[in-house]
Amino acid sequence: MLKTEANYAKPPRTIKPLLTDTIGEEKSSSREVPLGTPDDLVPRWFSANPDFFYQARKFMLCFAGLQASYLTWGYMQELIMTTQFTPTERVPTGKFPSAAFCVFSNRFLAVIVAIIAVRIKHGAVFANNKAPLLAFTPCALSNTMSSWSQYASLKYVSFPVQTVFKSSKIIPVMMMGKFLKGTTYPNGQYIEALLITTGVAIFSVASKSSDRDTNTEFIGLVFLLVYICCDSFTSQWQDKVYVQYGRPNVDPYQMMLGVNISAICITTAGLIVTGDFPIVWEFLSANPVVLHYNIITAITSASGQLCIFYTIKEFGPIVFTIIMTTRQMISICISSVVFGHTISLKAFTGAALVFSVLFYQIRRKYYARLRRNTGG
């Protein structure tokens, strides 16, 4: 039976017999190779939903960008701070001498990227900024301190301990939100925070090596406490800037520019005061590979920030949280394999408790957002 365009243009009552005949023909010749047009070889739902596959491609790019950026960043971070390089006169241990310089290199490239992004989007770097640079200084200071503490802690605790410990930021975030903005939280979130803290405590205690000094471990945990407190303040202060000056008036790229300009001023002053510049210069001259590591870390840090902004804009914070939680788990696995960290059954139980609660939070927030959107 010959099917023409006129057949398909007829009213619906005439289409049914044609479809019935077609199905019958397909059944009778199921062993034959179809020789139709390319569209015949593609499932109907594929060609009928191009937007779905366009969004799927964007999601895969976001996922790949975030994973590649932050997995590389975490690996290079641990490599820089834990590897014993060629000793120098001022650094006889051979360990990289300045966590502040790592923060400086990251902020230096981030400023360049932010300037380019703001110029492309707004046509000018500072002309359209509604929030003054001083508004970003408090969170720039806390961001600098959190990054410095994160690097410094790797001298005293393993990367898996640091990664799981960072997941316990929920309690400081809630405290900062209540202190800075008067935010109230339901009792269920306090229970979740307690479970996460318990899991972190189990993982941290179970991961201690028997041959490691207890005082050294304590110093590492102090650095991690400074990190999560400062990092919690950073996010809450950034949100306060958005509210105070209006979200339409401050976009993420302007936030990135303002924070990193203040941060690079702070880190530069710190390197001058502490006298780290000549020490780092001497160390990099003897170990040029470390400079390459710092450049890679800075590039992946900047690309990761751009991927964060794009992912949240396109898919929202829930999808972003899922991707980053997955990244934390993969980071632990990579660090354990590459750097030889052993994870005992007790430590694994603590980590499983933390990530189980995190994924439960993601699920709860997803359904809450779904109910708001549907009016249920």
pLDDT tens digit string along 92-113? 999 999 888 988 998 899 899 9
Confidence check: pLDDT of 44 > 60: no
Instruction: State how far the alpha carbon of 376 is from the alpha carbons of 19, 141, 188, 372, 373, in Å.
Output: 40, 42, 21, 6, 8
Mean of pLDDT over the chain: 75
Q: Is the pLDDT of residue 253 over 80?
A: yes
Residue 329 pLDDT? 66
Report the pLDDT averaged over residues 35-49. 51
- Segment 294-299 mean pLDDT: 92
Q: What is the pLDDT of residue 18?
A: 39
**Its pTM surpasses 0.95:** no
pLDDT band at 346 (very low <50, low <70, confident <90, very high): confident
- Cβ atoms 343, 207 nearer than 8 A: yes
Indicate the domain borders of the chain: 96-364
What mean pLDDT comes out for the span 55-61?
A: 79
Question: How would residue 285 be classed by pLDDT, with cut points 50, 70 and 90?
Answer: very high
Tens-place pLDDT, residues 204-238: 667 554 444 444 467 888 888 888 888 778 877 88
Q: Where does the pLDDT of residue 1 fall: very low under 50, low under 70, confident under 90, or very high at 90 and above?
A: very low
**What pLDDT, on a 0 to 100 scale, did the predictor assign at position 13?**
47
**pLDDT value, residue 318:** 56
Q: Determine the Cα–Cα distance for residues 366 and 317; give it in Å rounded to an integer.
A: 10
d(CA 27, CA 46): 22
Say how far apart CA 22 and CA 3 lie, in whole Å: 10
Task: Using the predicted structure, report yes or no on whether residue 372 has a pLDDT greater than 50.
Answer: yes
CA torsion 17-19-21-26 (nearest 10°) is: -170
Of residues 185 and 170, more confidently modeled: 185
pLDDT greater at residue 234 or residue 9: 234
More confident site: 338 or 292 = 292
Which pLDDT belongs to residue 141?
Answer: 92
**Above 50 in pLDDT, residue 57?**
yes
| Percent of the chain residues past pLDDT 90, beyond the cut | 14
Rounded CA Rg of the chain? 27
The reported pLDDT for the residue numbered 20 is 40
pLDDT band (50, 70, 90) for residue 150: confident
The pLDDT, as a whole number, for residue 21 is 41
Alpha-helical runs (H) found in 207-275: 214-245, 252-274
Q: Is 50 exceeded by the pLDDT of residue 371?
A: yes
